[in-house]
Amino acid sequence: MLAAAQRLRRRDEFAATIRAGRRAGRGVVVVHLDGPDDADSPAAESNGSTPVRTERVDLPARAGFVVPKTVGKAVARNKVRRRLQHLIRERLAALPPGVTVVVRALPGAADRTYSELTSDLDAALVAARTRRPRRPRREGT
């Protein structure tokens, strides 16, 4: 289980991470990653944007989990959530302070083995950390 300081608890924390963070899906896992490391990314430097979310640097990296009913019944959802918590606990230390992560399980996650779930999560985290933010839409096109 994650420490209380490492968990996302409130709905607005989940919503802010999902809305503003970078998203990457691999296998049966979708990861939303948001945090101050966005300012260090090459994409943020190239477009001249200034970092907006640097006030969270003093917080530890935190994670939250979304396991919907489409994954299975309560026993299956809890099993998937516990597995994901165990996996993300080891990976939070590698993330910069102030980063928030929301891990969403997709249907079929309950049927995956532990090693398959591990590889899906690792691949999604790597993709979310290296993915560039979306370019803003141009007006008039």
Model confidence pLDDT, tens digit, residues 5-32: 888 999 999 999 999 889 999 999 999 9
Residue 141 resides in a domain: no
Rounded to whole angstroms, how far apart are CA atoms 86 and 65? 12
Using a 10 angstrom Cβ sphere, with 0-12 exposed, 13-18 middle and 19 or more buried, the burial of residue 4 is exposed
User: Tell me: the pLDDT tens digits for 95-121?
Assistant: 888 899 999 999 999 999 999 999 999
Q: What is the pTM of this model?
A: 0.76
CA 28 vs CA 13, 58, 62: distances in Å: 23, 32, 21
* Closest alpha carbon to 66 in 116, 7, 26: 7
Query: CATH number of the domain that 92 lies in?
Result: 3.30.230.10
Tokens representing 126 are: 């790597």
Place of tokens 């999560």: 121
Residue 51 lies in a domain: no
